[in-house]
Amino acid sequence: MRKIIYWVHTSVDGFIDGPDGEFDWPVMGPELSAYSEALNERVDTLLYGRPVWQMMVGFWPAAESLSPDPHTRAFAPFWRATPKIVFSRDFPGDDWTSRVIRDDLAGEVAALKAAPGKDLLLTGGASLAAALTAHGLVDEYHVAVHPVVLGGGRQLFATPKQRLNLRTAQSRLVDGNVVVTTYRPAA
């Protein structure tokens, strides 16, 4: 069975973006970039909620012309070539969307996980991650904690309705600055 991997950047105070939606604070050093690229090797499908999708599709199709950053140059071709599924009730899709899932979140995602292929990568986004977590569909949480206090924004875990017990599978310091921890649901 395929796994859903949730890969997310957060501030020390638990926000995935700033008070005004800014996402200019994660620093992708060489070790963090290598970590991200290793996750990419495990997957063949990218999952997005609509707000993150709109941010991604506004940048990644032409990313190399917008940024000289080595991580950007490495990720952009992977992003363009990999199937992308957007979860939204009203998004019609676009040229970069492989599929839109509108209804029956639990059933559709369970079917995706049961289909042949590599794992599925959910990057960022609190609402979709919370919904998938509530259905017990996220298998691994890879959380990169950056040394910044944002003081507001969207929380890493959007107001869970019940306690989520996780177990730490691995934790390490990358680039001398960012702590990346992998969690799995506690059995």
Residue 65 is predicted with a pLDDT of 87
Note the pTM of the prediction, 2 decimals. 0.94
Residue 161 predicted with pLDDT over 80? no
**Torsion sign over Cα 36, 74, 132, 161:** positive
- Domain enclosing residue 57, as ranges: 28-119+135-161
Angle between helices 30-41 and 70-81 (to 10 degrees): 10
pLDDT band at residue 31 under the 50/70/90 scheme: very high
Rounded to an integer, the average pLDDT of 167-177 is 97
Q: How many domains does the chain have?
A: 1
Distance from C-alpha of 29 to C-alpha of 174, rounded to nearest angstrom: 8
Assess if residue 55 is contained within a domain: yes
Assess if residue 167 is contained within a domain: no
Assess if residue 64 is contained within a domain: yes
Assess if residue 39 is contained within a domain: yes
Assess if residue 130 is contained within a domain: no
CATH of residue 40: 3.40.430.10
Rounded to an integer, the average pLDDT of 168-182 is 98
Assess if residue 186 is contained within a domain: no
Assess if residue 92 is contained within a domain: yes
Q: Dmax over Cα atoms in the chain, in whole Å?
A: 45
Distance from C-alpha of 66 to C-alpha of 59, rounded to nearest angstrom: 8
Residues 89-106 have pLDDT tens digits of: 999 999 999 999 999 999
Residue 47 predicted with pLDDT over 80? yes
Distance from C-alpha of 184 to C-alpha of 139, rounded to nearest angstrom: 6
Backbone angles phi, psi at 48, to 5 degrees: -140, 140
Assess if residue 18 is contained within a domain: no
Distance from C-alpha of 109 to C-alpha of 22, rounded to nearest angstrom: 29
